[in-house]
Amino acid sequence: MFKDITPLLDDADAFRWAADELADRFSDTPADRVVGVEARGFILGAAVAYRLGLGFVPVRKPGKLPYDTRSVDYQLEYGTASLEAHTDALAPGQRVLILDDVLATGGTAAAAVELVNSGEAVVAGLGFLIELGFLSGREKIGVDADCPVISLFCFGGDE
């Protein structure tokens, strides 16, 4: 089941609502940076970082970042993949919000969490525009129960 977010991005009012809603839901969550996961997570993450007055860190596929990187490999439904971040993008102890467009099986989100933790930063929360609840990805992310995981829309789940 594919959920296309481009119509939302094309509608200025809907896009503003989504970015504001995610920012509002994290407004009481202490954070130092927003991590956006390639590629649509960049769009939401950058908008939320701007709104919250935080720095933005892109997490990308291998070979796309121009500086020294750390990486993490993870399983997809159809194979393996990797994510990378600059080695100096996050400092130990920094609190990080991770943003992406869709939470499906949880593999990409779990890899982003692992990447943040590998730099000794702390995941303060995760936000998604859409969650495919029937895939149970939320259960696979690997964060503490007190870490907020927020989805604006959920299809086929209890959230």
Residue type, 115: L
Q: Out of 40, 51, 70, 95, pick the active-site residue.
A: 40
Torsion of CA 13, 16, 19, 25, to 10 degrees: -80
Residue 139 annotated as catalytic: no
Cα separation, 130 vs 103, in Å, equals: 6
Report in angstroms the alpha-carbon separations of 116 from 3, 20, 47, 78, 132.
27, 24, 20, 24, 23
40 a catalytic residue: yes
Task: Name the residues annotated as catalytic.
Answer: 40, 77
